Structure 1
Amino acid sequence: MRHTKVKDLLNSTTTLQEINAKGWVRTFRNNQFIALNDGSTINNIQCVVDFENTPEEILKRITTSAAVSVTGDLVESKGAGQKYEIQVKKIEILGDSDAEKFPIQPKKHSLEFLRENAHLRVRTNAFGAIMRVRSVLSFAVHQYFQEKGFVYVNTPIITGTDAEGAGEMFKVTTLPAENAPKNEEGNVDFKQDFFGKETCLTVSGQLVAETYAMALGQVYTFGPTFRAENSNTSRHLAEFWMIEPEVAFNDLTDNMDLAEDFIKYVVKYAVDHCGDDLKFLEGRLTDEEKSKPQAERSEMPLLEKLGFVIENNFKRVSYTEAIDILRDSTPNKKKKFSYIINEWGADLQSEHERYLVEKHFKCPVILFDYPANIKAFYMRLNEDGKTVRAMDILFPGIGEIVGGSQREERFDVLVEKMKALGIDEEELWWYLDTRRFGSAVHSGFGLGFERLVLFVTGMTNIRDVIPFPRTPMNAEF
């Protein structure tokens, strides 16, 4: 018999006869009541077992996390909390579970403990909800760009280019770790490597996406990226997913408009399609914050905060204005910031970004026109010669969630910037070709998908919004 998803049974508009459901046992009470969940919804369906006519050996095998198949009738529930339940006529054990040894017991576990059992944590309500929200957000990303006529481009994971210029990249090589071949200068001879040159895992698909935007008009990438940055914080991962649109003929204002519209769309899509999961996560967040000092608690419940982002315009502020605000702020004057703002040109830290969003403006903020010397080489130089047409979007609880810019479309200016930074023109000859042959104003941005999921779910650690987090000294699973 074909089984029906628990979500569909709970949403049924009528009672049903002879249905089959399959899933995992969350709890088994009084040798009679099974709370069954199959992952389709955060809600369990109650299955009432006829324990008098069910063999004892079967009842003993109905344990927490066991996989079972139940056949029976969907009837109106006699208990409170759900409309329907299953009156079980037949139960089959699909997979036994040693309940005493199962790490995820029906009680509250710390997030640290669940990270140590990342292969099983998705069986909890919280992580089931998070991963369903993540899936819906992922679909919304593609739907938004497809509806807008963007072309989805799969950019390489293996690259010979450091797009960000930070040098924090994972090398890809088939050469032996010991006794690697050397060239005449005594350095590793990458000409003998698989690709005939030094290659790494990509930190961004942007530069390649730009080449496609110069032919297809508007494109986007959505794929894994990698940073070998030794940052063991709640906001950093070594492997994460990046959304990167690039649009020909868009200037910085167009870019800010696109990013804001995109974020509002995907957040609203999650709110519209993940109601039960987000209500659960909101309750979880509220309970968690009861133990925090009043000053550290969120000013809005999760769903209200998401609604606030959807319904209100993001505040647009120049870097120069932001520096003035930060310099004159109370935490800066009282030296409460870890990084004191003294002068224009400072590279803003997370504490500064969150102050602007959470304390000063109390809404998402788009900062633009940053100093050229703290931004990447490909960003368009402004007429003042000292700032670039960069933009960052800052969110409460997250800090930077989007980084982007109008790209430098002028060949001679781009070459001069590369020379000043010591970037080899020969390595990026193909990128410069896009400025030689039909260059035009164009812009784009990158959005770290996990930071978006972090914001929408209300979680506080980025390790908890990706199935198997990759962080320094951690690749267990």
Structure 2
Amino acid sequence: MIKKYSIKELLDQGCSFLNKEVLVEGWIRSFRYSIFIILNDGSTIKNLQIVLSKKLEKKIIKKITIGTSIKVIGIIKKSIGVKQYIELKSSNIIIYGSINSDILQKSILQPKKHSLEKLREQAHLRFKTSIFSSIMRIRHYIAFSIHKYFHEHGFFYLHTPIITTSNCEGTGKMFQITTMDLKNDYPIDYKKDFFKCKTYLSVSGQLEAETASIGLGKVYTFGPVFRAENSNTSRHLSEFWMIEPEIAFYHLDENMNLAENFLKFIIKYILDNCMEDLLFLNENIKKCKKNTLLEKLELILKFPFQKISYTKAVEILNKEEKKNKIKFHHSVLWGEDLQSEHELYLVNNYFNRVPVIVFDYPSCIKAFYMRVNKDKKTVRAMDILFPEIGEIIGGSQREERYDMLLKRIKDSNIDKNKLWWYLDTRIFGSVPHSGFGLGFDRLVQFITGMNNIRDVIPFPRTPSNAEF
């Protein structure tokens, strides 16, 4: 029986397949001179050249168009062409599905350059394009490296609920879940609803992960989260994926070191395992930037991350504004959150594109669960800022003291009754613990060099858009 191989296997081990009969399947990228087929099966950015047999019937040749899916049996030969080392000389070809030329002309599969916006309009077809298939392969390797890192460092993978009754951050809009007819079932009695209470799609699995870390030591979540905010920017999605590790007996310094080590591990893994796709993106994404895609990624590994307090960051920004006569759109004031323009100036300009960790933020702009410092004004929070995209990780040492946590919940006008179980963990053997959240899609965006986060997720969910 003739063995089937992926195109990646054949191209990676070309010498060992010479003069062997093999079977390959894939989609046609191009068809030249009625004899040369360029085939791809999604396993690699590279293509395999198929040389059609002269004995092939004309009726089969007429059915061959770009996008047609085929099965080919043939002998691997050394190619006389300079663009490939091997090629497949076919002895038999079977067409699975062909494309009508009129339909092809209206699709993104036609052989011409399309804008990324156009690809998004046909998101169900863009997996067949070189650029999107390349991004999806890298996305897979990033996800795999995340699980690999945590497994090798003694973390346990935790599945936290997608349906929740509370907002982890205490602010922001959430997507409500109900089986009731809210227009006609008035007055609304949520005891008649499916869960007998008001429920939402989760914005984070952090609180549940904290409870697990107190019993398991090291845990992490990796799943979808949802935010109903009308943020229609190139960095925001309504449905996105988050990684959230929680570690017992960890203080803020240990948390910052873990986050830096974690990010560097991922980027090194991608550089080691996705070079072909990175090189393709490096050549095909034209940007007017100081560094190429590869140089940008290598720079993350080259230097230790810079660590500065929030207070120092405000001081630097104010001095830079006066010294260099920079005019920020938003004023830099202690006690107010740093805006994207401030974050990007720090990392891109002041620290010359080396990632920055900003820590000890004012308590008034951070979530209730963050540990209050001795000054009573700041909390043990930290954000990691990356060049081009700004904040990529947000984390903190959690407030393990019951009285302090209860006060923060009350000060934040959060119903403590909904968080009774969370407060309970501070009664039954509470420990110092820390964690952070990494926006997976934003990390993919950074590593692939894409301008818009909608181009790094298969089917983006954004305000006014839930197609496919």
Q: TM-score by structure 1 length?
A: 0.95
1:336 offset after TM fit, Å? 3.1
1:30 to 24, 29, 33: 33
Q: For 1:166 and 1:303, how far apart are their aligned partners in 2? A: 38
Counterparts of residues 6-405 of structure 1 (less than 5 Å): 6-12=7-13, 13-14=15-16, 15-50=18-53, 52-102=54-104, 103-104=107-108, 105-182=110-187, 188-285=188-285, 288-289=286-287, 297-330=288-321, 334=325, 336-341=327-332, 343-362=333-352, 363-405=354-396
Identity of aligned residues (%): 55
* Amino acid in structure 1 at the alignment position of 2:6: K
Q: Answer with 1-10 or 208-217: which moved more.
A: 1-10
Q: For 1:80 and 1:464, how far apart are their aligned partners in 2? A: 33
1:6 offset after TM fit, Å? 0.3
Q: For 1:429 and 1:438, how far apart are their aligned partners in 2? A: 16
2:459 to 468, 473, 476: 468
CA contact 1:331–1:337 (8 Å) conserved in 2: no
1:122 offset after TM fit, Å? 1.4
Structure 2 alignment gaps of length 5 or more: none
**Two-structure CA RMSD over aligned residues (Å):** 1.2
Q: For 1:208 and 1:331, how far apart are their aligned partners in 2? A: 45
What residue in structure 2 maps to residue 415 of structure 1? Answer: 406
Q: For 1:143 and 1:123, how far apart are their aligned partners in 2? A: 28
CA contact 1:326–1:332 (8 Å) conserved in 2: no
1:99 offset after TM fit, Å? 3.4
1:331 offset after TM fit, Å? 8.2
1:346 offset after TM fit, Å? 1.9
Show CA shifts across 1:350-406 (max 9, x none).
111110000110210000000000000000000001000000000011110000000
* Amino acid in structure 2 at the alignment position of 1:405: S
Q: For 1:378 and 1:20, how far apart are their aligned partners in 2? A: 58
* Amino acid in structure 2 at the alignment position of 1:240: F
* Amino acid in structure 1 at the alignment position of 2:29: R
Q: For 1:17 and 1:153, how far apart are their aligned partners in 2? A: 47
Structure 1 alignment gaps of length 5 or more: 183-187, 290-296
CA contact 1:4–1:21 (8 Å) conserved in 2: yes
Q: For 2:451 and 2:358, how far apart are their aligned partners in 1? A: 23
Q: For 2:364 and 2:284, how far apart are their aligned partners in 1? A: 43
1:344 offset after TM fit, Å? 1.1
1:57 offset after TM fit, Å? 1.0
* Amino acid in structure 1 at the alignment position of 2:466: A
Q: For 1:330 and 1:89, how far apart are their aligned partners in 2? A: 70
Show CA shifts across 1:63-89 (max 9, x none).
010000111001101101111000011
Partner SS state of residue 393, structure 1: strand
CA contact 1:248–1:443 (8 Å) conserved in 2: yes
* Amino acid in structure 2 at the alignment position of 1:56: K
Partner SS state of residue 100, structure 1: helix
* Amino acid in structure 1 at the alignment position of 2:412: L
1:181 offset after TM fit, Å? 4.2
* Amino acid in structure 1 at the alignment position of 2:225: T
1:455 offset after TM fit, Å? 0.8
Q: TM-score by structure 2 length?
A: 0.97
Q: For 1:16 and 1:5, how far apart are their aligned partners in 2? A: 17
Show CA shifts across 1:35-87 (max 9, x none).
0000000000000012x311111001110100001110011011011110000
Q: For 1:332 and 1:29, how far apart are their aligned partners in 2? A: 61
* Amino acid in structure 1 at the alignment position of 2:96: L
Show CA shifts across 1:220-245 (max 9, x none).
00000000010000000000000000
Q: For 1:204 and 1:75, how far apart are their aligned partners in 2? A: 54
CA contact 1:65–1:99 (8 Å) conserved in 2: no
Q: For 2:3 and 2:20, how far apart are their aligned partners in 1? A: 13
Q: For 2:127 and 2:81, how far apart are their aligned partners in 1? A: 28
CA contact 1:327–1:333 (8 Å) conserved in 2: no
Partner SS state of residue 326, structure 1: helix
What residue in structure 1 maps to residue 425 of structure 2? Answer: 434
